Chain A
């Protein structure tokens, strides 16, 4: 009997949800940032995350599942990054970066949990590992920006 893909699909959909949430968080940060250069970085990260989410969605389709998309994610209440504007208020770029970094911690932890999952198939693991490169790079970059901004103030 062929092994079921349900577990892989469930994990991938959870990551898609988090990744779309982080892409929206970056887009929101780009809209609210006062500095044009930060704005460029946030929008590039937003499009990178959307690309990562589309790769994960493709893997779900390959496994025969129905991937989460922007619509299904929007309908869910437990979004971490999209409430960025409300959390930031008028705190400026430092507050935006703090909030983005918090979102990055959240997404990185989710990916690390997924990578530790021993029940995942080889192909799914490869797709998640590739996506994790972007996640880790984004997390490290936001941490560096946060430290630099706090050191400057």
Chain B
């Protein structure tokens, strides 16, 4: 029954223009919530980047507060995240921070430069489309 009704409707609509059918056609592209470029973003990677950024910020904050246990922990999270996402420049920069912070006690001189190096590796990534 339903198929017959559909066929009947298709036959009756066949000769009609879109104006006769009351459909408005716009030549402008349809605006969606996301641009086509945004639609191809892998959201799991995006969450990974977000976590790396948050951890990198936390390394700086912890180091400024002289909480080097927290800074070491966050550095290890950045290393793991960067390795998982294949961000090898960031991975190497974070490994230098890890070596500079050491396993325990006060860090070696130059830990500030190492953390800045890590931050500079994050900056170009944030600009990349």
B89 in the interface, Cβ–Cβ < 8 Å?
A: yes
Query: Which secondary structure dominates chain B's binding surface?
Result: helix
Q: Do B88 and A137 have beta carbons less than 8 Å apart?
A: no
Cα(A145)–Cα(B117), bound, Å: 15
B93 in the interface, Cβ–Cβ < 8 Å?
A: yes
Q: How far is the CB of A111 from chain B (nearest CB, A)?
A: 14
A 114-153 binary contact with B (CB < 8 Å = 1; else 0): 0000000000000001100110111011111101110000
Cα(A144)–Cα(B117), bound, Å: 14
Q: Do A40 and B102 have beta carbons less than 8 Å apart?
A: yes
Cα(A48)–Cα(B121), bound, Å: 12
Q: Do A137 and B93 have beta carbons less than 8 Å apart?
A: yes
B109 partner residues in chain A, CB cutoff 8 A = 144-145, 147-149
Q: How far is the CB of B43 from chain A (nearest CB, A)?
A: 26
- On chain B, the number of residues with a Cβ less than 8 Å from chain A's Cβ atoms is 21
Cα(A142)–Cα(B108), bound, Å: 11
Residue of A nearest to B114 (CB): A141
A32 partner residues in chain B, CB cutoff 8 A = none
Q: A37-B102, A44-B96, A45-B96 are in contact. Are A137 and B113 (CB under 8 A)?
A: yes
Q: Which of B88, B102, B113, B120 has most A Cβ within 10 Å?
A: B113
Residue of A nearest to B91 (CB): A51
B99 in the interface, Cβ–Cβ < 8 Å?
A: yes
B76 partner residues in chain A, CB cutoff 8 A = none
11 additional A-B residue pairs with CB within 8 Å, beyond A140-B117, A144-B112: A40-B99, A41-B99, A41-B100, A43-B99, A44-B99, A48-B96, A133-B89, A133-B120, A134-B92, A137-B120, A145-B108
Q: Do B110 and A141 have beta carbons less than 8 Å apart?
A: yes
